[in-house]
Copies of this chain bind each other. A is one copy, B any other.
Amino acid sequence: MKKEIKVFDYASEVLNGMKSGALLTTKVDEKLNSMTISWGSLGVQWEKPIFIAYVRESRFSKKQLETNQEFTINIPIGSLDKRILEVCGTKSGREVDKIKELGLTPEPPQSISVPGIKELPLTLECRVIYNQKQNEQQIPQEIKKDFYPQSVASVFHGSNKDYHTAFYGEIVSAYIIE
């Protein structure tokens, strides 16, 4: 069962929920993949409700989005097995079938081709209408040092030296899986 919601009425749940970790799910052919995110934006442009996801160049999700420009965002409500965000935040879909490994439950989608993940019930179905790689020339030095270390492998951020692309997903359905 899906309970339809007005997404802006749940904006606090989306943004506060994302801080502790949400999932971005993509699908190409039968390859379904979820990645943990803790950044993203909710808003309006071109009179459409939009979720902006930021995805690094090297991510498997980036490759998936180049082929199928649809994604779901899933936000936890209440308690959540922390292992889900841990595995989806550290392993790559190139090597592991995370959905299978974690025993996650794909929920048949309503408007797009990518299912949501039942364990994180607040679901946004999004269709990319615009994307733009962020311009490293415009990023302040302090941010580069923390999030895009070029020389040494930072312990915390791993080898995350590549920049993000902003994917503007029009929110075409929003609901809570019950």
Contact = CB atoms under 8 A, between A and B. Distances in A.
Contact of A12 (B9, B47, B54): B9
A110 interface: no
B19 A15 contact: no
A150 interface: no
Nearest to A17: B8
A42 B15 CA distance: 8
B45 A42 contact: no
A73 to B, nearest CB: 11
A138 B132 CA distance: 8
Nearest to A11: B11
A44 to B, nearest CB: 5
A19 B44 contact: yes
A38 B46 contact: no
B50 A44 contact: no
A41 interface: yes
A9 B16 contact: yes
Contact of A52 (B38, B39, B43, B132): B43
Interface in A20-56: 38-47, 50, 52, 54
Closest 7 CB pairs of A and B: A41-B43, A11-B11, A41-B41, A8-B15, A11-B12, A39-B44, A39-B45
Given A18-B44, A39-B45, A41-B43, 10 more contacts: A8-B16, A11-B12, A11-B14, A19-B44, A41-B41, A41-B50, A52-B52, A129-B143, A130-B134, A132-B132
